[in-house]
Structures are given as structure tokens and as C-alpha cells.
Amino acid sequence: MIISFISQKGGVGKSALARLIAVEFAREGWSVKIGDLDTGQGSTVNWKSRRDMNGVKPEIPAEKYATVKRAINDAENFDLMILDGPAFAERGGLDMAKASDLVILPTGYSLDDMPPQIETAQDLEKSGVGLEKIVFLFCRADASEVEDRDARAYLKRAGMSVFDHVLPERPSIRQAHNNGKSASEVSAKSVRDKVLLLAQEIANKLTKKQEG
């Protein structure tokens, strides 16, 4: 199976989500790999190096791929390939989405963030990717209930699906990443519990598609 994280811009949380999902599926016994398609930065591969250096388990394979095609071909060797896409979705984004069982579009709450991602989803749909496998996710989120409610309504008016849970913005998550850990491996239980609810929601969505 393949999950893709796609965005028109960098810094929205794709890598944080890829790491979270990889760790949680690996804990459940899945063979997983993260395909890092941002060959310039390679932030996920660098994170894996920190994880190995600190001896954090489970081990998470991660590799830079120069092309989407190579990453997709390698997916057959794993239960789950997680594609951490580059900024600018047009750079292989369509190929990623077509090959994926689930496409996640991370976004913030602002009108600087949501419209470009809506446009990405619409472009993918026009190119043959069904909206039923495209889901928005509020990432690096630290909003009031009102702002969260209004942003969800905005996406739903555009015909988009959105996960109920969010990836919060917390110093403990940034520190975890610095140590080669995922957001679900933070020491703060309140943060960890919130993140695990999100991971479970994504897992439920993916395995439901597998069963379907």
C-alpha cells in the first residue's frame, strides 16, 4: 500500500506526518519505508540518521528517490510505502496520487494555506484521482475552536474531506524530531495521546480502503 503526502508549499508538516505513520505502522508489525522525494533537503533521511544514531526503535527505513517512479517500484517490497513529497505538487504529485491508496493534503488554517491545497485536490481530480481517496489534515495546528470550525466548514464547502484529528504544534514534537523520534514518541503524555488519535484515524482510513 502507498500513502502520499502532497503539498504546494514546504513547511506544512508532510515529513512530521510521514514519520508518525511510519513509526506507528512499524509498531504494529508492518514493513514500512519512507520515500523522501525532496532530494534537495532530504529532511526525512536526515531524521532517520538521527534515529539510528540515538538507537531509537523500531528502525524506520528511509531513502531519497530522485523520481516518483523509482519510489513506486520499490513499494512492492514493503507493506506500506510512505511518499514524503516535495513542495510544489506538480513535480510528480499526480504520479504519486495515482499510485496511492490514500492521499493526504496537509494544510494550515489560513487562507494562505487552504486555497492552494484545494486547487491541488481539484487538479488531481480533473486528472483522474478520485476525491474519495484525498483527505485534508490540519497540521502544525494551534487554533481556537472557532477557527478550527470555520476552516473545516471552508473545506467542506469546497467538497473536501478532512480528518477529525489534527497534528498539533508543540515544542516537544520539534524536540522529538531533533532526536530522531516521531510525534508519537514525545515524553508528554497529553501530546502523545492526541497524536496517537490522529495516527489511528489515518490507519483506520487506510485499512478500510484495503478491506474495500
Query: 124-156, pLDDT tens digit by residue?
Result: 999 999 999 999 999 977 778 899 999 999 999
Residues 6+ positions from 180 with CB-CB distance below 8 Å: 47, 48, 49, 50, 51, 52, 53, 54, 56
Which of 63, 64, 119 is CA-nearest to residue 93? Answer: 119
For residue 88, the model assigns a pLDDT of 59
In this predicted structure, the answer to whether residue 18 has a pLDDT above a threshold of 90 is yes
Strand (E) or helix (H) holding 105: strand 102-107
C-alpha cell at 198: 490522529
Average the pLDDT over 3-12 and give the result.
83
For residue 77, the model assigns a pLDDT of 96
Give the CA count within 13 Å in the CB-facing half-sphere of 90. 3
In this predicted structure, the answer to whether residue 62 has a pLDDT above a threshold of 90 is yes
Q: In this structure, which amino acid lies at residue 83?
A: L
For residue 13, the model assigns a pLDDT of 85
Enclosing domain of residue 199: 2-211
In this predicted structure, the answer to whether residue 211 has a pLDDT above a threshold of 60 is no
Q: Which residue has the higher pLDDT, 172 or 38?
A: 172
In angstroms, the CA 29 to CA 24 distance is 9
In angstroms, the CA 39 to CA 85 distance is 10
Number of domains the chain contains = 1
For residue 91, the model assigns a pLDDT of 62
Average the pLDDT over 28-48 and give the result.
90
For residue 130, the model assigns a pLDDT of 93
In this predicted structure, the answer to whether residue 107 has a pLDDT above a threshold of 70 is yes
Mean per-residue pLDDT of the chain:
91
> What percentage of the chain carries pLDDT values higher than 90?
82
In this predicted structure, the answer to whether residue 209 has a pLDDT above a threshold of 70 is no
Q: In this structure, which amino acid lies at residue 148?
A: D
For residue 208, the model assigns a pLDDT of 78
Question: Sorting pLDDT into bands at 50, 70 and 90, what band is 207?
Answer: confident
Q: How distant, in Å, are the alpha carbons of 73, 75, 80, 85, 158 from that of 12?
A: 27, 24, 22, 11, 20
Average the pLDDT over 33-37 and give the result.
95
Q: Which residue has the higher pLDDT, 105 or 142?
A: 105
In this predicted structure, the answer to whether residue 171 has a pLDDT above a threshold of 70 is yes
For residue 8, the model assigns a pLDDT of 79
Residue 60's Cα: distance from chain center in Å?
15
What's the CATH code of the domain at 42? Answer: 3.40.50.300
Number of residues that this document lists for the chain: 212
In this predicted structure, the answer to whether residue 20 has a pLDDT above a threshold of 70 is yes
In angstroms, the CA 59 to CA 117 distance is 32
Strands (E) located in 130-171: 134-141, 161-162, 167-168
